[in-house]
Amino acid sequence: MPHTEPTCPDLPTPVMAIESSCDDTACAIVTTGGQILAETTLSQSGHVPFGGVVPEIAARAHLGALPALVRDTLRAADMQPHELGAIAASCGPGLIGGLIVGADMGKGMAIALDRPFIAVNHIEAHALTARLPGVASNGAPFPYLLLLVSGGHCQCIAVEGIGHYRRLGGTIDDAAGEAFDKVAKMLGLGWPGGPAVEQLAREGDPHAVLLPRPLLGRAGCDFSFSGLKTAVAQKLPAEVRTALPRQQAADIAASFQQAVSDIVIDRLGHALDMMEQRPTTLVVAGGVAANGVLRARLQEFATAHDLPFAAPPLRLCTDNAVMVAWAAIETMRARTALGLPIPNDIAMRPRPRWPLSEMTQRMTVDADSMPA
């Protein structure tokens, strides 16, 4: 990825970041100008027999993998630990065991190296990925409309500034990625389910199976995928779920995928109407953003509404440490512009829930306490 912005001399650089909020263990080193010096990611395979992420297995896998992953990342960047300017880690939301492992590793390094530690909100990291130099052609200036679709999240967010986010709507039951995983399991496919369903759907007819579109046309931009998942289950007699003729399974996969994209596009239209200012860009992030059919539909939506469309490279859609480093850099830059000190979050405990609404405090509480 090209280095298109100068490094800010007032910020500690480069930043090493750790991501361990779910089942991907990741580490990256990024300069304050957005140059990715190194990135490493290890996807866990121990969850496959269970058809979903087992938190205890995930935490133990992070613990076993992270020290070597940090060393590999430093080696790939041709750096020594003392050359790092700051350490960051995802501290929520996510699976608490994995968050504790990553945060404690980051805090330990920060203390040993006498460097600041920046606690990063995982959702904020996804939200700011489009601002990483080279991702969005226009740089994704504020405000922009973010669609976050992943295994654990499905939200429309007005990104109005660093620390300033307005949740327009979200799922009231299952996330889109969770629905993909469950449908994949019904069809006897592998895990993770999203790529497996998408691959099978290429052989099917997206209009072959009649499925509902929950909340379609309703006011607001909340999502619901539980009823759609149940409707798929009703098309599959329990005794033959794993032995369907391939064409029938492909038709169900394609029809399900089409229904998900129809729901997302409808909800996104409502979200656009709810923006207080016209967005500069439509941004998509999260693991489900890697789905080719959904990406194509989102591009069509953006074109129809005369909006630039920004979709990060596939490796930056799923959980990764580059986005964590960049969120830390954006936070440091924004605080410096307000005359606030670089944060040092050593005392912060990881949190399984960390609403984006609380991020405003990071930019306003300290600013309000500054002398006039």
Q: Which residues fall in the annotated binding site?
A: 122, 126, 148-152, 181, 194, 198, 291, 319
Return all residues near 210 (Cβ < 8 A) that are at least 6 apart: 255
- The whole-angstrom separation of Cα 339 and Cα 370 is 9
* Residue linked to tokens 């960049």: 326
For residues 187 and 256, the answer to whether their CB atoms sit within 8 Å is no
> What are the distances in angstroms from CA 318 to CA 80, 230, 288, 290, 291?
28, 26, 8, 8, 11
Kindly give the interhelix angle for 246-274 and 193-201, rounded to the nearest 10 degrees. 110
Q: What is the DSSP letter of 171?
A: B
Binding site for Fe cation, by residue number, is: 122, 126, 319
Binding site for substrate, by residue number, is: 148-152, 181, 194, 198, 291
Instruction: Report the candidate in 216, 215, 208 with the shortest Cα–Cα distance to residue 232.
Output: 208
Cβ atoms within 10 Å of 136's Cβ, excluding its own? 21
Q: What is the DSSP letter of 349?
A: P
For residues 222 and 171, the answer to whether their CB atoms sit within 8 Å is yes
Beta strands 164-170 and 86-92: pairing type?
A: unpaired
Structure tokens at 341: 């000190």
- The whole-angstrom separation of Cα 344 and Cα 347 is 8
* Dihedral sign, Cα of residue 197, residue 249, residue 237, residue 225: positive
Cα-based angle 311, 313, 317 (whole degrees, multiple of 5): 75
Cα-based angle 133, 134, 137 (whole degrees, multiple of 5): 110
Instruction: Give yes or no for a cis peptide into 14 (omega within 30° of 0).
Output: yes
Q: How many CA atoms lie within 13 A of 133 on its CB side?
A: 15
Q: In what order do the strands lie in the sheet with 36-43?
A: 36-43, 24-30, 15-19, 86-92, 117-121
